[in-house]
Amino acid sequence: MPTRRELYDRAQRRRANLIATLSTGAVLLALVLLVPRAPGWEAVQRAFFNAEIFARTFPGLLQAFVLDVAIFAWCAPLIAVLSLALAIARDLRAPAFTPLRLAATAFIDVFRGLPVILVIYLVGFGIPGLGLPRPWNSPYLWGSLSLILVYAAYTAEVIRSGIDSIHTSQRAAALSLGLSEADTMRYVILPQAIRRVIPANMNLFIALQKDVALLSFIGPVEIFRQAGVYKSLMANFTPYVGAALIFLVITIPATRYADYLMARRKHD
Amino acid sequence: MTEALLETRGLVKRYGPHTVLNGIDLHIAPGQMTCLVGASGSGKSTLLKCLNLLEPIDDGQILLGEEDISEPGRDPQPLRQRIGMVFQSYNLFPHMTALENALLAPRRVHRKPRTEFLPAIEALFERFGLSAHMHHYPDQLSGGQQQRVAIVRALAMKPQVMLFDEITSALDPELVGEVLDVLRQLRAEGMTMILATHEMAFARELADTICFLDGGRVIEQAPPAAFFTAPEHARTRAFLARVL
Ligand SMILES: Nc1ncnc2c1ncn2[C@@H]1O[C@H](COP(=O)(O)OP(=O)(O)O)[C@@H](O)[C@H]1O
Ligand SMILES: [Mg+2]
pLDDT per residue rounded down to tens, chain B (244 residues)? 578 899 999 999 999 999 999 999 999 999 999 999 999 999 999 999 999 999 999 999 999 998 999 998 899 999 999 999 999 999 999 999 999 999 999 999 999 999 999 999 999 999 999 999 999 999 999 999 999 999 999 999 999 999 999 999 999 999 999 999 999 999 999 999 999 999 999 999 999 999 999 999 999 999 999 999 999 999 999 999 998 8
Q: Is A174 on the interface with B (CB under 8 A)?
A: yes
CB contact under 8 A, A172 and B87: yes
Give ∠ CA B22-B24-B27 in degrees, rounded to 5: 180
Domain that holds residue B176: 6-91+156-243
**What is the C-alpha separation between B232 and B219, in angstroms, rounded?**
9
Task: Name the β-bridge partners of A67.
Answer: none
Domain count, chain B: 1
Is the residue at B25 inside a domain?
yes
Distance, CA of A127 to CA of B174 (rounded, Å)? 69
Q: Which of B15, B34, B92 is nearest to B227 (CA)?
A: B34
Residue B49: closest CA among B25, B33, B28, B70: B70
Nearest CA in chain B to A181: B77
Has residue B121 been placed in a domain?
no
CATH of the domain at B191: 3.40.50.300
Question: What angle separates helix A41-48 from helix A238-267, to the nearest 10 degrees?
Answer: 80
- Which atom of ligand 1 lies closest to the CA of B40? 23
The strand pair at B209-214 and B33-37 is best described as: parallel
User: Does some domain include residue B143?
Assistant: no
Amino acid, res. B238 = A
CA–CA separation, B24 vs B58, rounded Å?
A: 12
Segment A48-98, tens digit of pLDDT: 999 999 999 999 999 999 999 999 999 999 999 999 999 999 988 888 899
Does residue B187 fall inside a structural domain? yes
What ipTM did this prediction achieve?
0.94
**B70 in Cβ contact with B62 (< 8 Å):** yes
Residue A168 touches partner B, C-beta closer than 8 Å: no
CATH superfamily of A50-267: MetI-like (1.10.3720.10)
Ligand nearest to the CA of B213: 1
Q: Which of residues 136-165 of A touch B (CB under 8 A)?
A: none
Chain A residue nearest residue B107, CA to CA: A179
Residue among A174, A184, A223 nearest A69 (CA): A223
> How distant is the Cα of B178 from the closest Cα of chain A, in angstroms?
22
Q: What's the pTM? A: 0.86
- How far apart CA A165 and CA B162 sit, in angstroms, is 29
A178, A188, A268 ranked by CB distance to B77: nearest: A178
Nearest CA among A72, A79, A68 for reference residue A223: A68
Chain-chain contact of B81 with A195 (C-beta, under 8 angstroms): no
Of ligand 1's listed atoms, the one at least distance from the Cα of B38 is 22
Any idea which ligand is nearest the CA of B239? 1
Position B123 in a domain: no
Quick check: is B202 in a domain? yes
